[in-house]
Amino acid sequence: MAKTERQFIFFVGLLKAAPTYLRRELLPKCDPAMVYHDQQTFDEAVEIITNGDFSEKNVAKCKRIFSEKFENISQETIALVKPSIAGDPLNIENSFETFTERADFLHKVVPHAKIVFIARNQIDFIISLYRQSIREGKAISFNKFINYEKGKFLPRTKGDYETLDTLHLDFSFMANYYIEKFGEKNVHILFLEDLENNSEKFISSVRQILRCEFTEKVNPSKINVGLSALALNLMLLKNKYSFFQKDRRERNQVKFLDGVITYLEKYDQKSMSLKKTLSVSSPINFPAIILRRILIRSRILFVFERFMQIAFNKVLYIDWDFMGKQKRSFLGHVLIKGIHKTPAM
């Protein structure tokens, strides 16, 4: 196939909608003779697109970069997973507020590109971002995080790096805008829920878009179990009242524990089961061996976040525990009433 007929595919979003799975699991298993997927090749151009300077000078620069790179690629399909192109609602410099400008810029640079937009339920998306924020140590309430005050959503202020750009969070608009710019035949809308609930269908859809075969079996996506609502609130309390000494105590505890475990290694056989290790060891070393095994298993209790996941997530999930239902009900109400109707995804 001639180079002018090559398909250039941008997986443009969303963040928190399987970009890592695509980069690490799915694309590497495509036939390398058919699909080029080195994610660093076009980084210079992608950085220009996401930086916010949409001048004609940068359009020309990006076109030149893409053209030069294309000349050295022989595969029929080039696939890039760059969710930052759609935007990052937690990054005020690259938020959804400038989504249309970036989509226009991308169209000027590569007008014949194919766009893959992976959407997800917007309420789940918001909750996932809030979990991430709390896990990163931020001490911010849920209402503040989504900029909701006195019955309405507020725009973010300049220099706000903690809250969500909720006012511009409209996946339906984003998908339709890509269709308007690139054409219906060149825009593919996929759903994260399909990857979770019907992975074969999702994987098959991507294979058809890429026009390739897989050289080995593509494994379903592993769904990360996030913090439950109860664990989330406990983490928030920890962040609020222990922020000044955040993680210091945990680091010291784990460092001390790791030192003890390392010291006891000389008595243990790391690659053997406890039963087999005891059978080949001197009885005088039994206490050291058993202590080391106990410390390894109890180490997790000294790391607060992992302890929260182990202790609470086995029985409490955001879908049905009380605080999770409360947040979902609140979001479902205010998104429809306060911004726009949330699409059924």
Residue ranges of domains in the chain? 3-131+164-210, 229-317
Distance CA 127, CA 141 (A): 12
CB 168 within 8 A of CB 96: yes
Nearest CA-CA partner of 84 in 180, 160, 17, 172: 17
Mean pLDDT over 203-219 rounds to 92
* Section 15-32 average pLDDT: 87
Encoding tokens for residue 240?
Answer: 């609020």
- Mean of the pLDDT values across residues 188-192? 88
If we measure between CA atoms, which residue out of 4, 34, 23, 89 comes closest to residue 213?
Answer: 34
CB 107 within 8 A of CB 62: no
Fold of the domain spanning 3-131+164-210: Rossmann fold (3.40.50)
Instruction: Render pLDDT for 226-237 as a digit per residue (tens, 0 to 9).
Output: 555 555 565 555
Work out the angle at residue 80's Cα, subtended by the Cα atoms of residues 99 and 196, and round it to the nearest 5 degrees: 85
Do 328 and 121 touch, CB atoms closer than 8 A? no
- Which alpha helices (H) appear in the chain, and where do they start and end? 19-21, 43-51, 56-71, 99-109, 122-135, 142-145, 171-182, 192-197, 199-210, 229-241, 248-264, 274-280, 286-298, 304-312, 322-334
Quote the mean pLDDT of the chain.
77
Report the distance separating Cα 230 and Cα 62, nearest Å. 47
Over residues 236-241, the mean pLDDT reads: 57
Higher pLDDT, 154 or 3: 154
Residue 5: its pLDDT value, please?
Answer: 66
pLDDT given at position 51: 81
| 230: amino acid identity, one letter | L
Helix H or strand E segment including 116: strand 114-119
Helices H, strands E: what count in the chain? 15, 7
Structure tokens at 155: 């725009």
User: Has this prediction a pTM greater than 0.85?
Assistant: no
- The band of 294, judged by pLDDT with boundaries at 50, 70 and 90, is confident
| Per-residue pLDDT band at 215 (split at 50, 70, 90) | very high
Q: Is the pLDDT of residue 27 over 90?
A: yes
pLDDT at residue 221 greater than cutoff 90: no
Those residues whose C-beta lies under 8 Å from the C-beta of residue 76, and which sit 6 or more positions away, are 1, 6, 7, 34, 35, 211
Q: What are phi and psi of 343, to 5 degrees?
A: -65, 150
Q: With CA atoms as reference, report the closest residue to 24 among 14, 37, 35, 15.
A: 37
